Structure 1
Amino acid sequence: MLHLRILLAWALTAGSPLAALAAAPAAPAACAPIPLAGGNAAAVATPSAADAWGGPRRGNEATLSDRVVRYSIDATLDPVKHTVTGKQQLTWRNRSAQPVCSVYLHLYLNAFEGPGSTFMTELREGNDKFRSGVDVKDGDWGYMQLRKVAQGGAPVQWRFVQPDGGPKTDRTVVRLDLPQPVAPGASTTLDIDFFDQLPRVIARTGYFGSFHLVAQWFPKVGVLELPGERGATAPRWNAHEFHAHSEFYADFGEYDVRITVPKGYTVGATGEQTGAPVEKDGKVTHRFVQGDVHDFAWTADKRYARPLVGHYNGAGSPQVTVRVLYTPEYAHNAQPALDATLQSLEFFSRTLGPYPYRTVTVVIPPHNAGEAGGMEYPTFFTASSFAKVDPGTLTRDLLDFVTIHEFGHGYFYGILASNEFEEPMLDEGLNEYWDQRMLRAAGRDIHLGTPLMKTLGIDLRLPVFDYERLGAMTEHPADPLGQNSWKRMSGGSYGTVYSRTATAMRDLEAAVGTPALERAFKLYYARWKFRHPSIADLRQALIEGTGQRATVERIFAQQVYGVQPVDDRIAAFSSNEVLPQPGYVQYRGRRIELTSAAIDKAIADKRAAWKKAHPEAKPGEGPFPYRTSVLVRRAGADVPQTVTVTFADGSRATAHFSGTRPWQRFTWTKHGKAVSVQLDPQHKVYLDASKFDDARTLENDGSVAQRLTGQFASALQTLFSFLVSL
């Protein structure tokens, strides 16, 4: 029991978090309490007010964003102990009309301090492996410690809170009770000393060897939302715990960060390096400054090679310098990553809006640090690293895609700055969709064959949105796209934030037309850049931009706010000759019996005469009409659908339908036998649970055979994709 008494004695020591909790005074009576957004917060249904976040940015303002915060940070890295010692001045402006006596800070790094954090609890209880599934071993843990917080020289007391009802042992959100209230419209500055123990690289941050990716590393203030912003009806703090599948949300501001590392280390960071590095006592201090962003991350490694540098010059943008940092073993990844970044700058600038910053820093993680790959921060992101990246291979496709994806976050996560805790589809999902549009525009497919198959001349590939559809959980979706990041059935269901959102947006594009969809997204970006849109704001921009309210509202009701599968199929298909039948008929006022023998003779005579007159007739053509019947079953949501029947003479008949009826039958009577039927012939509905049951054939028909062959190939490609991932 000695160790417990020692722990208790430490816990009550002045300056410890528990002592601070015990000593924390109540908020001054002059301040009305401001609640926190709850643990069930998710898709917003009411559009924000026109003047939310100060209103749309017109481009004539002094700054790109309405800067709410300013961080001035001095950070020193110990690359042997893998620690960061920091001093921070945090200046925060109260945008509300009431005094504020308490503010909330995120201490994200405490997600990795032990089994009691919300992050680790969710991984354990959900049996989910995060990203590549690296387990935390002894000595791999990390944490953030507040050593001092002061306001105007007066000490600030703090206590840890769990806004989402997570375990009381979670310490990723801390409440500061201020000695001096912050008046409406006024600002306050907090002086904060903090200490980081970086974890072995896991979930977007940490170290391996001399490599350090330093992210979620400084105390970061939450967001005070006002009425009319993202569905708020009264002021509220938005500061969620760090969940296993959540990311981030913060105010725009300015960062001025001085990073001190041992001599010989290369540093890359958010923003522009300002002035020459300063060397003293074997250490070098690098200064990075960036305004109009809402986060800051950096990297340092003594193994980095000379950076690969490129430049982008595009209309409306400053000259953008792109730096790719990489270690020697992955030198062959650097040029493809640079090329993909420059291509992304051009595509996103042209299709959404000009890139507004002067820098992009791309990091290729070294060997054994794959957990650091595929993560975004403003003007700074990590790509992936592969042993081989030959053109026309899956690994090259993945390197390109991850680079495009992480750059794209600079728009959907960075400039649009949505709330990734509560509405992850606005970042991960919309970005995934826009990335695939970029690849589709370039004529790129996903290569799924193995190197051996390629040497044998077998080139298996899949169109990008067909590939995306494979992970969209089309048959049994578990959660609405608008659900928050942590209340989901599983990690797999969270993954549909990417693929199912991309598929739903692709179906919306197919329904409204590409020009209308592109107009709508340009409107969304222009209206909400450097603000914080909600899902309701996206919906409104899509309605206005496309001019097709009913279609947009249908998809949002079914897929974003609801979770309705789409499941249509061809249940039956027949095409039979309509022949005279025996029995009595009325002829000139008399009842006459047509016998079977007479009918058979008449049919034979008519066939012979017709064949003589039409010697070049194809099978399925003749003197008698055919009655074609198609039965469609619907087991899911109402989506507009098309059925097309192809006949032996090459003609076609089409029917359109919608509604919630579980079945519909369509019939045609015409000369010529039907040979095939196709549901969704223009491939507009990718959310359909299965595309294998969209067609049937009665006779040999090349187009149908080709389509079915393509579906079989798709199945094979899915299998090979799985094998490659092992």
Structure 2
Amino acid sequence: MRLATGRGGQWLAAVVLLWSCQVDAHTVTPAGTQPATAASVAAEAIPFAPAHDTIITQKSSPDAWGGERTGNEPTLSDRVVSYTIDADLDAAKHAVSGKEHMTWRNRSDRAVRSVYFHLYLNAFQNQGSTFFTERNVLDKAGGSRGEAVLKKGQWGWIRLQSVQQDGTALTWQFVHPDGGPESDQTVVRIDLAQPVPAGGTLALDIDFLSQLPRVVERTGWWGDFNLVGQWFPKIGMLELPGERGATQVRWNVHEFHFNSEFYADFGLYDVHLTVPSDYTVGAVGQLQGTPEQKDGKTTYHFVQGDVHDFAWVAAKDFKTLDGSYVGPGSPKVAVRVTYPPEYVASAAPTLKSSIDAIGYFSRTLAPYPYPTLTVVIPPYNADEAGGMEYPTFFTSEGYKYVEPDTWTQMASDFVNIHEFGHGYFYGILASNEFEEPILDEGLNEFWDNRMLRERHQDLVLATPFTKWLGLTPHISGFAVERLTAGLQHPRDPLAQNSWDRFSSFSYGTVYSRTTTAMHDLEARLGQPALEKAFRLYYQRWRFRHPSVADLRAALIDSSGDAKDVDQIFDQYVYGTGVTDDGISSIDTSEVLPQAGVFWKDGKQTEVVATELDKQIDQQRDAWTKAHPHPKPGEAGPFPWHSTITVVRHGVPAPELLRVNYADGTHEDVVWDDDRRWARFDFIKPSKVVSAELDPDGHNYLDTDRLNNSQSTEPNGAASRRWTADVAAVLQTFYSMLVTL
């Protein structure tokens, strides 16, 4: 999708790097050390990935990220990094003190003299961070998620207290790879005492203190609940030529943008968590042995390999509900739901839908490879901690009541399916959520809706009250996505990064417009072919880091249909195309004998109009006598010539035109070219009474389906359809009132 780094972009990135190190940096100098000089930084000459020119159209090289995993390797992923962390939660202050030992392998062909780390929690330390600066803009451009206002004592941050390389204290500076505000401190450069040679390994020992914010978005505390995400110093990604559009070695280490999420190397996490003994703990990975208690605190030991992040929860008075999944190709998966007492009604439905999701994704993509799945339901007033994914761990949403066949059940199921699905598209495929949210949020949303479709599970808008009234309005998941996709005025290509967006609504269409585009591609290729293509994409890129261009290549290679795949990608993924085809007119007339001079067999004859009229009348009378009781639509004495004119108000899309005749028959015609309009002529015994484009409803990308059909006679179907739509809207409104 994105041509990530042109020559100009690389030079600009290098200039930004030098400038940020000399002018826009905040230097923290531990005792006995000196900050790096501009000359030493220039000598490194490893630029940042572009901040804006991020759309990738060139597919990655076959050996990117070490090449396709065969399954015969000793580990699922090529483990580039490892973290051993000892963390101690101060529950009263919602603060975590940590000691981190990190090792990192230099995959490049050159020495690395400085490394870059994410300090994500600093996004919540003041209103001058990139996160809050962008939130203010996007709020004005159409609203956003995570609108909580932090008060005194509720800000969050992370402090590096010491960084050592083989016992030598190191210096660090805050930098701004994306040109964010000077007050942003979410990316830090650490200058090494000894460079890491090509292929060599770096070991750092880091002491840090993380102050959780009151829950704003994704992470934080509320009451005695602590969701600890993005809480430790985390090394950035060093990309090599041929990986995700890179043409040279580069650091891909973006600031924490408001709508962005994350991107990191696979590795091994070995984490000890010490919390008050009356707190319930859940985390990424497997619990090792029996937790150890001492002085009113308990230490839990979790280990997980072949993941790229680690999050955990510590909450007082929370309960757990356990289950398991057993399926071909997967280890036995221990599934645990951790929930607050007020949301006990959500526990069992969450467990069931999570286990169901493991089964569906395992069957349609590949077996789930991890032995655990932990689900956390946040408490009341911590909603923004819900709906967030980490490897083998996600947060859901809680409801006081979960009534069968109501919107609460559907909402609960969908959130669980969606957040689990991230375990594949964000977790195992490990796409760059900063730059290519389509590959995670978009594709995952599409696959979630496929699961709902298979389960025949619509979005039910009913409540107990409306059910008592006998009203159970519902709508399919794909229809909901289409309605919220902003198809008429798309502002940004789907392949655009997460921060260069017109508004948060435009970012939100990454979910719905991607789902709609993939739905239509599936309709063109066929469901089995599309699923086979996604399995190829997964097989190629599991435990690696694909780009949108790699997705396109897999779809084409599997299906063999470059035309349809390229059309969807060119128009919607890389572009902002709008589809709107309609029927302009239907004209019908009898094919009657013609007056005038005609030549036949070398002889000239003349047909006189007055005589012809008599002949036509005689033929009509004869037909009437022969058919005293004609059936509706029965062919008459003369054939009919019907002309249907179709028009195209947007980009080309393959269309099926269904032509319906008065005798009850129909025929289908394919319109699949680049013409802005077309006329189709039909000479048949019966006349055309109606015509419809896309009668089977495959083209969800069509922005206006009301102009897709036309009839030659009055038809009450449209008014009945509008009445039903209005009734559905009113029912939805009443459902919302009851909920409130």
Taking structure 2 as the reference length, the TM-score comes to 0.91
Match of 2:35 among 11, 24, 30: 24
Match of 2:130 among 100, 118, 122: 118
What is the CA–CA distance in structure 1 between the aligned matches of 2:732 and 2:256, rounded to whole Å? 32
Q: CA deviation digits over 1:490-548, x for unaligned, max 9?
A: 10110111011111111111111111111111111111100001111111110111111
Structure 1 residue 158 corresponds to structure 2 residue 167: no
Q: CA deviation digits over 1:598-644, x for unaligned, max 9?
A: 65554444333323323242146421222222111112111111211
1:665 aligned partner:
679
1:474 aligned partner:
487
Structure 1 residue 72 corresponds to structure 2 residue 84: yes
1:341 aligned partner:
354
Letter of the 1:268 partner, please give it. Answer: G
SS in 2 for 1:146: strand
Map residues 483-498 of structure 1 onto 2, 5 A cutoff.
483-498=496-511
2:619 aligned partner:
606
What is the CA–CA distance in structure 1 between the aligned matches of 2:215 and 2:727, rounded to whole Å? 35
% identity of equivalent residues: 53
Match of 2:608 among 584, 593, 617: 593
2:295 aligned partner:
281
Structure 1 residue 557 corresponds to structure 2 residue 563: no
C-alpha contact (below 8 Å) 1:620/1:673 kept by paired residues: no
Structure 1 residue 242 corresponds to structure 2 residue 256: yes
Q: CA deviation digits over 1:351-388, x for unaligned, max 9?
A: 10010000000111111111111010000001111232
- Structure 1 regions of 5+ residues with no counterpart? 1-15
Match of 2:534 among 513, 521, 535: 521
Structure 1 residue 272 corresponds to structure 2 residue 283: no
Note closer, same or farther for the CA distance 1:222–1:147 as it changes in structure 2 (3 Å cut). Answer: same
User: What is the total number of aligned residue pairs between the two structures?
Assistant: 705
2:649 aligned partner:
635
What is the CA–CA distance in structure 1 between the aligned matches of 2:125 and 2:133, rounded to whole Å? 12
Letter of the 2:640 partner, please give it. Answer: Y
What is the CA–CA distance in structure 2 between the aligned matches of 1:504 and 1:126, rounded to whole Å? 25
What is the CA–CA distance in structure 1 between the aligned matches of 2:152 and 2:586, rounded to whole Å? 63
C-alpha contact (below 8 Å) 1:69/1:91 kept by paired residues: yes
Structure 1 residue 217 corresponds to structure 2 residue 231: yes
Match of 2:271 among 246, 257, 277: 257
Cα deviation for residue 154 of structure 1 reads 0.8
2:472 aligned partner:
459
What is the CA–CA distance in structure 1 between the aligned matches of 2:535 and 2:477, rounded to whole Å? 22
Note closer, same or farther for the CA distance 1:66–1:590 as it changes in structure 2 (3 Å cut). Answer: closer
What is the CA–CA distance in structure 2 between the aligned matches of 1:590 and 1:309, rounded to whole Å? 93
C-alpha contact (below 8 Å) 1:675/1:700 kept by paired residues: no
SS in 2 for 1:692: helix
1:448 aligned partner:
461
SS in 1 for 2:705: coil
SS in 1 for 2:231: coil
Note closer, same or farther for the CA distance 1:711–1:630 as it changes in structure 2 (3 Å cut). Answer: farther
Q: CA deviation digits over 1:57-108, x for unaligned, max 9?
A: 1111111100011111111111211111111111111111111011100011
2:390 aligned partner:
377
What is the CA–CA distance in structure 2 between the aligned matches of 1:607 and 1:708, rounded to whole Å? 37
What is the CA–CA distance in structure 1 between the aligned matches of 2:683 and 2:527, rounded to whole Å? 36
C-alpha contact (below 8 Å) 2:154/2:213 kept by paired residues: yes
C-alpha contact (below 8 Å) 2:138/2:144 kept by paired residues: no
Greater shift, 37-46 or 226-235, is seen at: 37-46
1:568 aligned partner:
581
C-alpha contact (below 8 Å) 2:595/2:607 kept by paired residues: no
What is the CA–CA distance in structure 2 between the aligned matches of 1:73 and 1:725, rounded to whole Å? 46
SS in 1 for 2:44: coil
Note closer, same or farther for the CA distance 1:585–1:559 as it changes in structure 2 (3 Å cut). Answer: same
C-alpha contact (below 8 Å) 1:91/1:190 kept by paired residues: yes
C-alpha contact (below 8 Å) 2:27/2:172 kept by paired residues: no
C-alpha contact (below 8 Å) 1:462/1:717 kept by paired residues: no
Map residues 326-337 of structure 1 onto 2, 5 A cutoff.
326-337=339-350
What is the CA–CA distance in structure 2 between the aligned matches of 1:172 and 1:722, rounded to whole Å? 42
Match of 1:102 among 102, 114, 133: 114
What is the CA–CA distance in structure 1 between the aligned matches of 2:273 and 2:411, rounded to whole Å? 32
What is the CA–CA distance in structure 1 between the aligned matches of 2:577 and 2:730, rounded to whole Å? 27
Letter of the 2:704 partner, please give it. Answer: S
Greater shift, 524-533 or 20-29, is seen at: 20-29
2:218 aligned partner:
204
Q: CA deviation digits over 1:7-29, x for unaligned, max 9?
A: xxxxxxxxx96443995212648
What is the CA–CA distance in structure 1 between the aligned matches of 2:728 and 2:147, rounded to whole Å? 25
C-alpha contact (below 8 Å) 1:692/1:711 kept by paired residues: no
SS in 2 for 1:64: coil
Letter of the 1:45 partner, please give it. Answer: T
Map residues 692-707 of structure 1 onto 2, 5 A cutoff.
692-699=706-713
2:60 aligned partner:
48
SS in 1 for 2:60: coil
Note closer, same or farther for the CA distance 1:148–1:161 as it changes in structure 2 (3 Å cut). Answer: same
Note closer, same or farther for the CA distance 1:18–1:176 as it changes in structure 2 (3 Å cut). Answer: closer
Q: CA deviation digits over 1:657-702, x for unaligned, max 9?
A: 233322112121212122211101232211111112111122367x
What is the CA–CA distance in structure 2 between the aligned matches of 1:74 and 1:95, rounded to whole Å? 27
C-alpha contact (below 8 Å) 2:482/2:516 kept by paired residues: yes
What is the CA–CA distance in structure 2 between the aligned matches of 1:624 and 1:559, rounded to whole Å? 47
1:7 aligned partner:
none
Letter of the 1:91 partner, please give it. Answer: T
Letter of the 1:46 partner, please give it. Answer: Q
1:9 aligned partner:
none
CA RMSD between the two structures: 2.2
- Structure 2 regions of 5+ residues with no counterpart? 1-24
SS in 1 for 2:394: strand
SS in 1 for 2:410: helix
Letter of the 2:29 partner, please give it. Answer: A
Greater shift, 186-195 or 448-457, is seen at: 448-457
Cα deviation for residue 38 of structure 1 reads 1.4
Greater shift, 508-517 or 569-578, is seen at: 569-578
What is the CA–CA distance in structure 2 between the aligned matches of 1:243 and 1:235, rounded to whole Å? 23
What is the CA–CA distance in structure 1 between the aligned matches of 2:673 and 2:312, rounded to whole Å? 53
What is the CA–CA distance in structure 2 between the aligned matches of 1:692 and 1:682, rounded to whole Å? 14
Letter of the 2:127 partner, please give it. Answer: P
Letter of the 2:584 partner, please give it. Answer: A
Letter of the 2:230 partner, please give it. Answer: Q
C-alpha contact (below 8 Å) 1:41/1:422 kept by paired residues: no
C-alpha contact (below 8 Å) 2:106/2:201 kept by paired residues: yes
What is the CA–CA distance in structure 1 between the aligned matches of 2:718 and 2:439, rounded to whole Å? 34
1:509 aligned partner:
522
SS in 2 for 1:429: helix
Taking structure 1 as the reference length, the TM-score comes to 0.93
SS in 1 for 2:127: coil
Note closer, same or farther for the CA distance 1:492–1:715 as it changes in structure 2 (3 Å cut). Answer: farther
SS in 2 for 1:630: strand
What is the CA–CA distance in structure 1 between the aligned matches of 2:404 and 2:54, rounded to whole Å? 41
What is the CA–CA distance in structure 1 between the aligned matches of 2:666 and 2:217, rounded to whole Å? 54
C-alpha contact (below 8 Å) 2:597/2:605 kept by paired residues: no
SS in 1 for 2:254: coil
1:5 aligned partner:
none
